[in-house]
Amino acid sequence: MTTPPSTLDTLGRPVRDLRISVTDRCNFRCVYCMPKEVFGRGYRFMDRKELLSFEEIERLAGAFVVHGVEKLRITGGEPLLRRDLDVLIERLVGLGNLDVALTTNGALLPQKAGSLVAAGLERVTVSLDSLDDDTFRSMNDVGFPVTRVLDGIDAAAAAGLKVKINAVVKRGVNDDQVVALARHFQGTGHILRFIEYMDVGATNGWRLDDVVPAAEIVSLISAELPLEPAEENYRGEVARRFRYADGSGEIGVIASVTQPFCGDCTRSRISAEGRLYTCLFATKGHDLRALVRGGADDAEIHATIGRIGGRRTDRYSEERSSRTAELPRVEMSYIGG
């Protein structure tokens, strides 16, 4: 079977970065992602047989590599809730020449960091929205203490993982934590990234007024810890980089609302049950599980992925408006950030 050339979409964007959700479950109820009112006691999460198996994930990931994917990011829900995740990591790392990373809320890192590294994982991104324990507990909405996530970050670093920290900033909730977070991680070697609060899904009650623009975040920090712009590491990098003028490290800002970056977007996402989404704000997905479980051969799977990728037109953040706000959008907890 001939290797198809890297797939380019209708805007000439290749697919380089595949995010794979391995579960729709989470042990947190972050108010901007999985509000308790919706994802509460009666919510029906997927059964194990609905989830893609590790073999199916590996097969699909391999197919995307053929189409040009170079980075795999394991997400959820909370991916560390998926049993034996290190077995999957080992399989994906075994595909070769891939940058495999994991996004987690850090709660289970003290127990799992060692086995993840043994499986070949090199990078982890931990979500941490506040250092203030009350604020953190109210944002994760399950009363989980901040110290245990900080312990998770230390455990990851001690196990040899490269660590990034993601903080979603919501006005009036944790914007008073921006400088404190910057001070805490300055000089640690961990890269802290601030994410503008986004209208992902349809359950977080998003309002533009609650968004703290990236420019404001940078000036808040720079007023106390002078920053200077840094060049991007590669085209399509999500975060805008800023380094501390005193050389003590860098931060990033992900400005999907005020400085959208769809023009260079090379990301696709697979949900835990095998639906392909070509945008974080997509309204519908493409069922790859039916294909895999329906006995499709590699050529058919490759052709299907190529067809979907080639027809991609997504530019939600650049088109964000009152019209797009009405569209039904997939939940972030379902496809990972």
Nearest to ligand SF4 of 78, 314 (CB atom): 314
Buried b (16+ CB within 10 A) or exposed e, 17-52: bbbbbbbbbbebbbbbbbbeeebeeeeeeeeeeebb
> What letter would DSSP give residue 84?
T
Nearest to ligand SF4 of 121, 254 (CB atom): 254
**Chain centroid offset of residue 286 CA:** 19
Q: Which stretch binds ligand SF4 (CB under 6 A): 125-133, 220-228, 278-286, 328-336?
A: 278-286
Contacts of 111 (CB under 8 A, 6+ apart): none
Indicate the residue among 243 and 315 with the shorter CB distance to ligand SF4.
Answer: 315
Query: Of 10, 17, 18, which Cα lies nearest the Cα of 236?
Result: 17
C-alpha distances (whole Å) from 310 to each of 5, 177, 280 are 11, 42, 17
Q: Is 330 in the site for ligand SF4 (CB under 6 A)?
A: no
Provide Rg for the chain, Cα atoms. 19
- CA–CA gap between residue 199 and residue 203 (Å, rounded): 9
- The verdict on 317 binding ligand SF4 (CB under 6 A) reads yes
In angstroms, give the least distance from the CB of 195 to ligand SF4.
Answer: 12
Q: List the one residue from 89, 182, 314, 329 that touches ligand SF4 (CB under 6 A).
A: 314
The piece of 47-55, 111-119, 247-255, 262-270 that touches ligand SF4 (CB under 6 A) is 262-270
Candidates 113, 173, 280, 332; binder of ligand SF4 (CB under 6 A) is 280
Q: Among the candidate windows 78-86, 100-108, 204-212, 258-266, which touches ligand SF4 by CB under 6 A?
A: 258-266
| Footprint on this chain of ligand SF4 (rule: CB under 6 A) | 256, 261-262, 265, 267, 279-281, 314-317
